[in-house]
Amino acid sequence: MFKTFDINQIRSLFSQNSYVTPDNIPRYKMDRIFLNSRWFFYFVFAGTVFESNHMAVKGIYTNEEWIKSSYRILVDIERCGGRFHITGLENLIKSNEPAIIVSNHMSTLETLIFPCIIGSHRNLTFVVKDSLVKGPVFGPIMRSRDPIVVSRTNPREDFKIVLSKGEELIRKGISLVIFPQSTRITTFDPEKFNSMGIKLAQKSGALVIPAAIKTDFWGESKIIKGFGPIHRKKTIFMEFGEPMKIEGTGKAEHKYIIDFISSRLIQWGSPVITR
């Protein structure tokens, strides 16, 4: 049950203004033996997933266990050569009100790591695609987190679902992570970044916290989606912006989030489409 990690230590780690992977993190010897390929990382990752699945099926995969398993993946990434540079953590703890975290979506990594970074400060769940709750491996894990499930094929119906269940979860004190892009992509296109998070915040009165992430360390694969090559030379960047209330139509706040994400990605050397 991830006894090697103490929940209070995890919370303390992400209660500072920033987190940067220490230079003295040791590499797994087996990762070097596997010639810096992806395979040893996915081997240890699979161990975490199957243990989490086992607990979820038994009904004992609690929020605390979710945070611990997320942190275990973060540690495994670091011990396989990954380096994190996370800033703006103070913005996650400025208020204990439930919030909507609106982020770009680049890889599988952020879905797995956000629980220990954000979830260590607040009750949390995600808006996810329906395929993530159906499979025998990840399905029980995701269902245990009571996510908002959308189809990504009917935007109007998805919008209704997010507004209805999102407002219900916010009233219960649960924060939400929303990826307004329809899919994971390394190139940021502002025109494909919808305002669903802003509209939910308008309706529920929740705070919005913008998040910019560059997670192409974890590559995509044409053969097995979500399990591509590991790019050890690419630093993993994350930055969380100031919490904000939505005023009026929310157009100004939506533009601010797009500008926040675009400026950070350009700073980190990631492509952004401009028109």
Q: What is the DSSP string of 136-162?
A: TTHHHHHHTT--EEE-SS-HHHHHHHH
Q: Name the CA radius of gyration of the chain, rounded.
A: 18
Angle of helix 39-58 versus helix 63-79 axis, rounded to 10: 170
- Beta-carbon contacts of 62 under 8 Å, excluding residues fewer than 6 positions away, are none
Closest CA to 64 of 16, 138, 111, 11: 11
Class of domain 7-267: alpha beta
pLDDT (tens digit, 0 to 9) for every residue of the chain, 275 residues total? 445 789 999 999 999 999 999 999 999 999 999 999 999 999 999 999 999 999 999 999 999 999 999 999 999 999 999 999 999 999 999 988 999 999 999 999 999 999 999 999 899 999 999 999 999 999 999 999 999 999 878 888 999 999 999 999 999 999 999 999 978 999 999 999 999 999 999 999 999 999 999 999 999 877 777 789 999 999 999 999 999 999 889 999 999 999 999 999 999 999 999 87
Residues paired with residue 129 on neighbouring β-strands, in sequence order:
150
CA-to-CA distance for 164 and 242, rounded, in angstroms? Answer: 26
CA-to-CA distance for 17 and 88, rounded, in angstroms? Answer: 6
CA-to-CA distance for 207 and 133, rounded, in angstroms? Answer: 27
Q: Are 222 and 193 in contact (CB under 8 A)?
A: no
pTM for the whole thing? 0.95
- Beta-carbon contacts of 69 under 8 Å, excluding residues fewer than 6 positions away, are 2, 48, 51, 52, 115
Residue spans per domain, the chain: 7-267
